[in-house]
Structure 1
Amino acid sequence: MKKTRNSTLNALKGIACFSVIMLHCAFPGMVGKIIYGIARFAVPMFFAISGYYVYSCNSKDVIQRLPKKIEHIVLLFLETELIYSLWHCIQYSIQVGTIQGAKEWILSLLSTRNVLYFIVFQRTVIGDVSWFLVALIWCYIVTFAIAKKDIWTKTFPLIPILLLLNVFLGELAPFMGIKTEWYWCSNFWLLGFPCYALGYYIKINEEKMTRILTESTIITIIIISVLLNLIERVLTNASQLFVSNIPFMIVCFVYCIKFPTIFQNNKLVKAVSIIGEKCSFGVYILHPIIRDIFRMLAKYFGIAGQPIWNWILPILVFASSVCVNLLWCAGKEKIEFRKVNDNLKEMEKL
């Protein structure tokens, strides 16, 4: 039996792609500030989706699947770091006129401070978004241990504690005049694992949550969450996870589970769904490089800082990131088709 795709969830992933760009390349002024606040739901959502799909009622199935998932993400992380490293060299050579010495650069990456920050906070020197992959690897490793001991129910109480600690450090502490760093909140401990475990929890309680959260209730919570987010963003001026992002993310996720095909005939939503399905990871990884390229071009042509350019830049970054990923996917599919075709021809000869 062919499995039906959740086009609504894929569309939400497409929206989350654009939201991630809003976190690193926002619109100017109050509009950008407001969108930024709402957009903070995106990264927690990607963690929750990972937790949701790793779940199985049989712990042995989870344990068997995890090694391949860990291997897959590790390879993606290494590929991502290689891409960022190459871009680092190219960008440095363009800006300075020479390529930085490889030996000195590698030694600087392997400093005690950088290694310690990588282990504790999953902070990487190359690329400001690849911490997500490291945190996801840790999520899978911890899941392996939890599934083996079958102690998920004992782990779930940690979710609100860790998320509230995240909100305290990211939102309340700066409001109280306490200086905090972004990587104190954006790491495995306070964002990756609790949101990942939340996705796991939603999967276990899927039937109950989809029954209790009616369509009208979900819409009401979304509206209240957005209004609360506006208040939080304007009053606190914080730039990490907001209290309102958590219920917003949960009910949006449940809505997608409850109505997996509700918008599948809408052409616009279908296009966003394709972006979410095929490009979500690629956009997340490549958009910082594409953003930097456009910023360098804008500086070269003397339009950097122009009001109209600040509005156009996020749209250009998103559109270009999607196009690059669609072309990449099309190329991969073409290569795979040729391989299958060649294999069939070889079989015919036999």
Structure 2
Amino acid sequence: MQKTSRNILLDIFKVIAALFVIGTHCGFLFEYSEVASQTITNGVFRIAVPFFFCVNGFFLYNVFNDDRIQKWFKRVGILYLIWMLFYTYFWAYLNDFNLMKMILTIIFGFNHLWYLAALLLGGLLLYQLRNISNKLLIVGTFILFLIGIIIQYLGQLHVFSEQLLLDKLMNYPPLHRNFLLFALPLLSIGYVIKRANFHTKLSKSFAISLLILSLVLLVAENLITYYFITGEAILNTYISYIFLAPALLITAFTFTVSSNLNSKLLSSYSIALYLIHPLIIFLILRFFKLDSTPLTFITIILSVIASYALIQLNKKLKYIL
């Protein structure tokens, strides 16, 4: 039977976003150009996680409407637990079983797994707010996102340098990069886009203009903060993410890339690449000394191979992807 051709642009974007995450964690271009690394790797590439949250918010609309919140919570919760156990060596053993650090890591997530922890709680909170009007939801969550930005700057600029404990707290990423101040705003935007069918109402020219304008805004914000505000400090969050992430989501539905490729397979690759790449980086650096850019490409190649193995394994052992 002939397969139905479908638009796979969103899934392509998700795979590219996963590769962006790898590039960020490997420090792509760092040895060649500090400015290029700052702009591309620590700026543009970091749109990946905000984009993932936006996509999840978009599909949570159907989850809520179909009353599948318990099934969704179970799936994400099990996924989080499995991968936290998988990386136990890194967050427990390497921290010398420091109880406080372990508790905080379990709550906020190890390394890249903070995304799943924030998604889990952010999704549940959005479910409680699902009946709020679009306008109130967007305005309210934008304020939350702005609070997170402010906390980040207070930390990076060491406004409370004379109060060491407070300064350390302000520089603790989970204080601003969490389910409430980061995940919820982006989930809400994706949710509202779907609820209002906003992604079906824009022309191609408007969508591409929105995408370009958002990208320019991100690069400008990145360079301004780098040269005039924070210096060499790397920010986790830029305010322009709240514009670029939905612009990418809308573009994925406005333009069409038709293919018989398995959409679910592409989606699985994006998840697998995201989850497995830190282990690949660790193993490479354990045995070889590489510059950032070659490390990026080798990590991508090995992560693709490992992802294929995970996808095959997931057919027999559910919930690992």
Percent of aligned pairs sharing the same letter = 23
Q: Distance in 2 between matches of 1:248 and 1:169?
A: 21
**Closer/same/farther in 2, CA of residues 221 and 76 from structure 1, 3 Å limit:** same
Shift, 1:200, TM fit: 0.5
Q: Once the 2 structures are TM-superposed, how far is the Cα of residue 248 of structure 1 from its aligned partner? A: 1.5
Maintained 8 Å contact 2:8/2:257: yes
| Residue 16 (structure 1) aligns with | 17
Aligned ranges 1:93-104 → 2 under 5 Å? none
Number of matched residues?
293
* CA positional deviation for 1:66: 0.6
Provide the C-alpha distance between the structure 2 equivalents of 1:231 and 1:295, rounded to a whole number of angstroms. 33
The amino acid across from 2:60 in the alignment is V
TM-score (normalised: structure 1): 0.73
**In 1: Cα distance, 2:142 partner to 2:279 partner:** 35
Q: 1:252 to 1:144 in 2, by over 3 A?
A: closer
* Aligned position for 1:33: 38
The answer for unaligned runs of 5 or more in structure 1 is 93-99, 337-350
Residues 274 and 33 (structure 1), Cα distance of their counterparts in 2 relative to 1, 3 Å cut: farther
Among 221, 232, 248, the alignment partner of 2:210 is 221
- Counterparts of 1:243 and 1:186 in 2: how far apart (Å)? 13
- Decide which structure has greater helix share: 1
Q: Which amino acid aligns with 1:325?
A: S
Q: Which of these residues, 44, 50, 61, is aligned with residue 55 of structure 1?
A: 61
For residue 24 of structure 1, report the CA deviation from its aligned partner. 1.7
**Equivalent residue number for residue 177 of structure 2:** 186
Q: 1:132 aligns with which of 110, 115, 118?
A: 115
CA contact 1:41–1:246 (8 Å) conserved in 2: no
- Paired with 1:143 and 1:244, the residues of 2 have a C-alpha distance of 22
Q: CA deviation at 1:17?
A: 0.2
1:141 aligns with 2:121: no
After superposition, the C-alpha distances for 1:285-333 in whole angstroms (9 at most, x for unaligned) are 21111111111112xxxx34xxxx3211012112211211112213444
Taking a change above 3 Å as real, the CA distance of residues 177 and 34 of structure 1, as seen in their structure-2 partners, is farther
Match status 1:257 vs 2:253:
yes
Distance in 1 between residues matched to 2:172 and 2:266, nearest whole Å: 30
Q: Distance in 2 between matches of 1:55 and 1:190?
A: 20
Q: What pairs with 1:318-337 in structure 2 (closer than 5 Å)?
A: 318-333=300-315, 335=316
Counterpart position of 1:202:
193
Answer yes or no: is 1:240 the counterpart of 2:236. yes
After superposition, give the CA deviation of every residue in 1:35-74 in whole Å (9 maximum; x if it has no partner). Answer: 1201221111111111111214x96x44x30111111111
Trace 1:306-321 onto structure 2 (pairs within 5 A): 309-321=291-303
Equivalent residue for 1:166, pick from 127, 141, 148: 148
One-letter amino acid of the structure 1 residue matched with residue 268 of structure 2: K
Distance 1:185 1:315, change over 3 A: farther
Match of 1:96 in 2: none
| Uncovered stretches (5+) of structure 2, i.e. residues with no partner | 161-166, 227-233
CA offsets 1:210-267 (integer angstroms, 9 cap, x no match): 32x32222222333333332232223134122122222211111111222xx2235x9
On the 8 A contact 1:69/1:140 being kept in 2, the answer is: no
| Aligned partner (choices 287, 303, 318) of residue 297 of structure 1 | 287
